[in-house]
Amino acid sequence: MLVSNKFQEKISDPILALLKQGLSPKSIASSLAFGAVIGLFPILGTTTAICIFVAAAFRLNQIAIQIANYAVYPLQIILLIPFIRLGEYIFQIKTVTGNPQEIISLARMDIFLVLKTYGISLISGCFAWFICAVPCILCLKFIFHYVIKNIPSHLFVK
């Protein structure tokens, strides 16, 4: 299947369905922005639960936040090490070695060994993510709102 067909099936069609349900573009934009940024959180396997709690706390749309969360999953893997390195730099802690495949394989075998080996670096990576998260959410919220409100109305009118 072509990338554009996959994008339409997995991203744009569900968003249009939300608009057809009467959700405001602002609400959908907020949900997508939070989902996209939370989806980059540098601890693998935690983002779905975090999105559920954040959506409940801020009264965001669960479907939209999860769509964005899952859409950015490849970026989460790509940005794992940069967030960790940024956190290590911020806190001036010793840089740990290891490639993402190694860390993922180890996590599948023994999560506690990963925490023992990479724990401080992961925590510093979470802090670095948090520093980046707030401005990213604000920027994405603005961008998503602009894009969604400019979707031709004939695509989502009941």
What residue spans define the domains of the chain?
Answer: 15-150
Q: Which among 74, 89, 78, 71 has a CA at the least distance from the CA of 127?
A: 89
Q: What average pLDDT does the chain have?
A: 84
pTM: 0.78
Percentage of the chain exceeding pLDDT 90 = 48
**Residue 103 reports pLDDT greater than 80:** no
Q: Which among 76, 71, 75, 87 has a CA at the least distance from the CA of 130?
A: 87
In this predicted model, what pLDDT tens digit does every residue of 35-72 receive, in sequence order? 999 999 998 889 999 999 999 999 998 888 999 999 99
